[in-house]
Chains A and B, each alone.
Chain A
Amino acid sequence: MPPKLKVEEEVLPDAEPSLVSGTSSKVDALYNKCAEAPKGTVFIQRELASMQIAESTTQLLTLLQELTDRHFMKSLEMHDGQPCWVLRTREEAEKLRQMTPDERLLYQMIDDAQKDGVWSKALRARAGLTPQRTTKVLKALESKGLVKAITNVKVPNKKMYLLKDLEPSADIAGGPWQTDGEYDGALIAAVERLVTYYVDQQTWRDVPVGMNRHHQDIEDNPRLHRVPRDLPTQRYPSAKSILQFIIDGEYIKEKKISEAYMEELLDMMTLDGRLERMSATTYRTARNPTFGTNGFVDAPCGTCPVFDLCGNEGEITARTCVYFAEWLGTESEYR
């Protein structure tokens, strides 16, 4: 177990730090060595030591400190407290070096939050800056193309910041169904159509009415009706199988839908009566997704806009009703 080291990144003055002679090449060597690994690799001390660039642990740590100070590396801490490092690109490091201390401070906070983003108010509070100053600094960061502002779907008036090249986590952005904090109606409708089509196919079968009768050959297009397929309920479509169908068909690009989000959509579709839940996890389409009617709404009163104003006497009554007159084809009393 290597000794526990806590390397904190310090805020350095803006000036270009002078390299300690003799170690400069080693710094570059270490950096280049690390850059060979895939981007975003996290290095722990053991790995860095195994690169055989530093001569001793002390030197290695000095080198790392050097790199960190010059923003070539970011030092982090693993979940068990072990230090680790991630490489930054040279351009990034350059940008960071050119920042004001305030900018750098905020940038680091935003960077720390990674995908979850930071609320602008929280930034201000933690950095101890005035609101005006915070806004200015964040604007500057945005214009440099380092961070971006997004809206939180759960709390729309909360402005969140996160690094430019990161996708906001689902918690903030609201999953695949939302774009920029708004539900993407077109996308949802398209997926709904796919789901309905698939589930329909799987759960109902069109057979001719009177399939068990001698049929005439003349009937090229016999009247069809739908009968439930002979399936146990567990084998009805579920979020999993529906999702599989959508993935296999490659209907949706760019967005990745997880099972939980699929479930959310199916849940919503049961609300407007297109899907019906058959068991805890399985669904079928409604045989007849339209709504029925009843005696009340069929009569003129059921949908009358002035129903609440209609009385036994007064301007609007059954005698003077224009809707009744239209419906029955008679005339109403004129008032």
Chain B
Amino acid sequence: MPPLQRDPPILQELCTLLVNDQYGELASKVFSVLCRTGRTTLAGVVRASYLNGKQIKHGLVSLIQQHLIFHYAADPRVTYYEIDWQQAYSLLRYGRMASMIESRYGPKVANILLNLVTYGHARIEDLNNAYFPPPESNNGDESDDGQVNGKTSAKGKGNGINGSAKINGVNGTSKELPDELQDDESHVKLLANGDAHATNGHAHAANGDAPPTNGDAPLANGDGPLANGDGDVGGEVKEATNAKGPTSKGKGKIAKGKEIAIEVEPEHEVSDAEESENNIRSIPELHDLIYLLILNGWIVPVQPNHYLSPGDIHEIALQEILDGQHQGQMPTGTKDKEALVGSVAARKRLIREESLAMETPKTRKRKREDRELDRPSKRLRIMGVEKWSSSKNSNYQDRDTVPELDLNLVVRVNMEKLSVAMRTEHLVRLVERRLCRVTARIYEAMLWALEFNQQRCYEPWPEPPAPPEPGIAAYVDPGLLITAKDIMKVLPRNLDLCEGIDPDFIVKLIPGHRVTSKGFIEPPINLYDLSIKEKLELIEKHIWQLSFDPFNFVTWHSKRTGQCAEWHIEYDKIARIMIQNEVDNTVAKKTDVLGVKLVRALKKKGRCDELEMCEAMMMNSNDIRPLVCDLAMKGIVQTQEIPKVDRREAKLSWHLAWFDLQRTREKLLHDTYKGMVRLMQRLNYEKERVKDLLAKAERSDVVGNEDKYLSPGEREALQKFQKVEEALWVQLGREDELVAVLRDFTGPFVSV
């Protein structure tokens, strides 16, 4: 019997820890009650916990605001609540999301995103107010807040309450809260407790002001990280900027790679000019950036069906189809049933797409005062690449207009898009490892350009597979095709395209150079002198190398006459290879290379008895037997015993072993969750150990005056704790990357 049956399911534990860490104890109590009971009503929650009704309502409202639970009332009198596991797990990823946004669109946009994350969802008008507080929106207690833009605090409490109250009132399309929770207004207090965690292994130094190092998350209560300009956008810095206090004399931390956290002094003295460059200066600029995120799918309008659990959506879609096409009866024939599955999936897709569709906002002519309204980053143009001109939003490219968003539009972040970005990042790393840095950059450019047309990594409700037609290649959405020409436009001009290619090829292509005995090109090729054709040839060469790699990073699609070849990327296949690759890595670490060899042999041959394994691995059975045992114990390969006669006798049985990628994937995912839980638990333990010190360091008079109030011993202990904390968060972020590979890039495989 597994010894751990007394422990709760592991994902539940992980999510509860995450909610506790971000939204405090009450929210996590309610969350854990819902975890235990599953789908239930308010009364059910009350029965299952010792909290009183008011507390539970507070908890539920804050969880709903953060989209951590679904709710659905088929009968208006009874509302069911259910955990949104994906979103709950995603709490871990907000920091990563911000850093990805920053690397794509620049710090301003990342800042918007972080603010949105803090709110859960927000109305455009509330975002306006958060950035540019109107003079009359004073809530009494926050009169000191409307300072300079750069340091404006978020007014976590005040605006939060206002915001969601307004949302309830004004926005008729989406019913935010069930009636039974409507009376609860104080919920937003909890929200303000939220602070965006950045748990990212690939950290960037925070822009603007350095993030604070002292202070612990739960204590930052009341100060949302809505401060424009000094949100801790980057790495694993996990505390919200303590916007009220004089910010930070702390150190920004950059964690590179593994557990070693390198401390780097951030640019303390950010000049005013630089700082203001990272600030959003006007509402049109804000809208422009928000619209940019919407266009790229990072944020989506909130719709009522976002509150429906997958099960409810399925029921609704099924009922609609049954009512519409089958007179409310379940079809009986096999064919009809199959058709039903297909049409329900189609219906679900339709519901989703409808909700994501947003009409193109009104635009107005660009005015003179909008001249600073430039795109935040040069890299942004990667996203452009002729795609926009063909899409329906072509007017966005028009540099003479700016969008004006509907003030009542409610938006939230789209975590599915983050999976797409994480996949990109992972693929680029793989290429860097397998081929070369420059090839990886080119691949990155391709992936970034293709991201524009991808809302999610895979379709959870696909069409039923059509029988393959011979002679006809699978259809590829033209939006997912890309040519070397597209990439050339967005690559930095100083990227040395010659790197990573056989020099003999280069000197053949570009005459007048030769290869020295040491392999240098003599005289060096001036990148700026290359003709377009030569550049294209070089880029195509890189792409061919990607395509020939056994991982099949890109696939050739077609070549129109006189134009560049079109390429596409078979994400599903690559996702599978990536999973296998991670399994191999894990096995290699847990056992050794022989383990990987066995796994691959079994994958290739299917079910094998001992002799077949010996043949495939060219090893003697004495060496293989312990290996099979070991891997079977670790749950990586499965074993099976089939008696040849009607008795169970070892001699008269076949002993087979096999490997199932889906099973191993699930096992590894489970183990990874468990590893993450242990990291969080350890972090809590480490915090507990220095509880008193932390309490002191977070006192408002101590923050910022550590040198004055803390003894050298205390400072040292604090620093040591911070290092430990950072190592744990970095590790958590890296395990999260593994979770993404295992879980998010492709749907479950059908086991054979």
Contact = CB atoms under 8 A, between A and B. Distances in A.
B688 to A, nearest CB: 9
Contact of B585 (A210, A292, A324): A292
Contacts of A188: 618
B695 interface: no
Interface stretch (B274-282, B432-440, B642-650, B705-713): B432-440
A207 B520 CA distance: 7
B749 interface: no
A301 B678 contact: yes
A182 B621 CA distance: 9
A271 to B, nearest CB: 4
B26 interface: no
Contact of B735 (A224, A299, A303, A307): A299
A295 B737 contact: yes
A137 B36 CA distance: 76
User: Interface size bucket, A side?
Assistant: 35 or more
Given A307-B671, A312-B13, A298 B724 contact: no
Nearest to A301: B675
B172 interface: no
B342 interface: no
Interface of A: 154, 177, 182-183, 185, 188, 205-215, 222, 224-225, 227-230, 233, 264-265, 267-268, 270-273, 276-278, 286-288, 291-299, 301-303, 307-312, 317-319, 321, 324, 327-330, 333
Interface stretch (B82-90, B118-126, B592-600): B592-600
A228 B543 CA distance: 13
A312 B498 contact: no
A328 B728 contact: yes
A319 B620 contact: no
Contacts of A297: 585-586, 589-590
Contact of A210 (B496, B586, B671): B496
B6 A311 contact: yes
A327 B7 CA distance: 25
A319 B682 contact: yes
Contact of A272 (B525, B597, B668, B741): B597
Contacts of A264: 618
Nearest to B633: A308
Interface stretch (B98-106, B345-353, B377-385, B501-509): B501-509
Contacts of A207: 502-503, 519
Contact of B548 (A224, A278, A303): A278
A212 B524 CA distance: 5
B733 A295 contact: yes
A310 B548 CA distance: 44
A204 B338 CA distance: 51
Interface string B572-595: 000000000110111011100110
Given A288-B434, A328-B686, A299 B519 contact: no
B521 interface: yes
Contacts of B504: 230
Contacts of A182: 620
Nearest to B584: A291
Interface in B658-702: 668, 671-672, 674-675, 677-679, 681-682, 685-686, 689
A202 to B, nearest CB: 12
A114 B109 CA distance: 81
Interface stretch (B156-164, B290-298, B451-459, B609-617): B609-617
Contacts of A205: 502-503, 519
B596 A272 contact: yes
Given A222-B518, A233-B548, A302-B589, A292 B433 contact: yes
A295 B435 contact: no
Contacts of B677: 318
B479 to A, nearest CB: 30
A95 to B, nearest CB: 37
29 contacts: A154-B611, A188-B618, A211-B520, A212-B521, A228-B502, A228-B548, A230-B502, A272-B593, A273-B584, A273-B596, A287-B434, A288-B434, A292-B433, A292-B581, A295-B201, A295-B672, A296-B672, A296-B738, A298-B734, A301-B675, A302-B590, A303-B589, A311-B7, A312-B13, A318-B679, A319-B681, A319-B682, A327-B727, A329-B720
Given A308-B4, A328-B686, A296 B671 contact: yes
Contacts of B620: 182-183, 185
A292 B434 CA distance: 11
B545 A228 contact: yes
User: Interface size bucket, B side?
Assistant: 35 or more
A127 to B, nearest CB: 27
Chain B at the A interface: mostly helix, strand, loop or mixed? helix
A154 B618 CA distance: 13
Contact of A268 (B616, B668, B728): B616
A286 B322 CA distance: 54
A211 B668 contact: no
A291 B587 CA distance: 9
B586 A319 contact: no
Contact of A328 (B672, B727, B738): B727
Contacts of A211: 498-499, 503, 519-521
Contacts of B733: 295
Interface in B104-159: none
B731 interface: yes
Nearest to B4: A311
B259 A327 contact: yes
Given A287-B435, A292-B585, A307-B671, 6 more contacts: A212-B496, A227-B500, A291-B584, A293-B585, A302-B671, A302-B675
B587 to A, nearest CB: 8
B626 interface: no
A267 B604 CA distance: 10
Given A212-B521, A294-B737, A303-B590, A227 B618 contact: no
Contact of B731 (A212, A298, A318): A298
A271 B501 contact: no
Contact of A288 (B259, B433, B525, B584): B433
A288 B410 CA distance: 49
B576 to A, nearest CB: 16
A294 B585 contact: yes
B736 interface: yes
